[in-house]
Amino acid sequence: MSDPLSQIIQLLRPRAVFSKAITGAGRWAVRYEAFGQPGFCAMTEGSCRLAVDGEEPVILTEGDFVLLPTTPAFTMSGLEPALPRRIDPKLSPVPDGEIRYGRADGPPDCRQFGGWFAFEAPDADLLVSLLPRMIHIRGIPRLTQLVRMVGEEAARDDIGRDLILARLVEILLIEALRRAPAGDARSGLLRGLDDPRIAAALRGMHGDVATRWTIPDLARAAGMSRSAFFERFTRLVGLQPMAYLTTWRMAVAKNLLRQGGIALDEVAARVGYGSASTFSTAFSRHTGQPPGRFMKEAAALG
């Protein structure tokens, strides 16, 4: 069975960048500027307050996990009021050891593992826009264990480190997204997959991207009328069905072009276009450059 969530994460190509232990004691608060890269944290002891811009503030307690696919600006603090210290993650140097906030001596009031990573896919913004802005999950020990493993592997200097980190981050993302309460998301892939009828259409698109899908075809897969399907898909996913299909086709096409060694008409056929010229027109309109140029630039970047 096709798994749209796993397919999107694989095409995003996450790679680990940073993971550290973070502790806080006494009165403390930090205000992080918007970062743009995906960030995460797992609380392993105590509690703290997290206020992400555009979201309701939450109290994180032991066992909580948070994933921010684009990491907007946020404030994290102890439970007592404090004036935030401003931090720009794009300019601040990466610390060598544990990060400590607040009182420097004595045992911490809270402890967490946190960090961020990057998506290597050039169209990451389009795919990430289908995910929730903030995912907050309580009581899933497996997520905390995965974050610890990321931190431990990131600290090693051994053969296979980068490959292991990439796989761990993929697992972390899939585990977090499949545990996320879909009803909390405004719209996006999770909302669509939570609806059995829309999920059937999504799995059809992902399972056979080469099919020349039409709205009637997708509506039949969902067991709905065309108008009802179109309205429900657009409301839950946040994109019209054919716009979503085009986004997915172009993501798959970019991945094929990056691999190289595949003729343009073969790429076109694999993503549902009848000819190389029709595909080239659609690709250029969607990405702003013809597929041949995209392939050459991807090869030059290695």
Interval 96-122: pLDDT, tens: 778 999 999 999 999 998 888 888 876
C-alpha–C-alpha distance, residues 231 and 227, integer Å: 6
> Half-sphere exposure of 8 toward its Cβ, with a 13 Å CA cutoff?
26
Higher pLDDT residue, 141 or 49? 49
Give me 258's structure tokens. 């990056």
Contact 81, 69 (CB under 8 A): no
Q: Give ranges for CATH 1.10.10.60 in the chain.
A: 189-301
Residue 182: the pLDDT is 62
Q: Which tens digit of pLDDT belongs to each residue from 155-199?
A: 777 888 888 888 888 888 888 888 887 665 567 888 898 899 999
- Note the CATH number of domain 189-301: 1.10.10.60
Choose the most confident range, by mean pLDDT, from 86-90, 194-198, 257-261, 291-295.
194-198
Q: What is the CATH number of domain 4-180?
A: 2.60.120.280
Task: Name the region of 139 (left: φ>0; alpha: ψ -120 to 50; beta: rest).
Answer: left
| DSSP H or E run through 248 | helix 241-259
The distance between the two most distant Cα atoms of the chain, rounded to a whole number of Å, is: 68
Confidence of residue 65 (pLDDT cuts 50, 70, 90): very high
| pTM tops 0.75 | yes
Q: Return residue ranges of the chain for CATH 2.60.120.280.
A: 4-180
Our measurement of the distance from residue 159's CA atom to the centroid of its chain's CA atoms, rounded to an integer in Å, reads 27
pLDDT of residue 273: 94
Give CA torsion, residues 207, 208, 213, 215, to 10 deg.
-10
Alpha-carbon distance of 302 to 287, in angstroms, equals 20
Among 12-26, 33-47, 52-66, 258-272, the range scoring the smallest mean pLDDT is 12-26
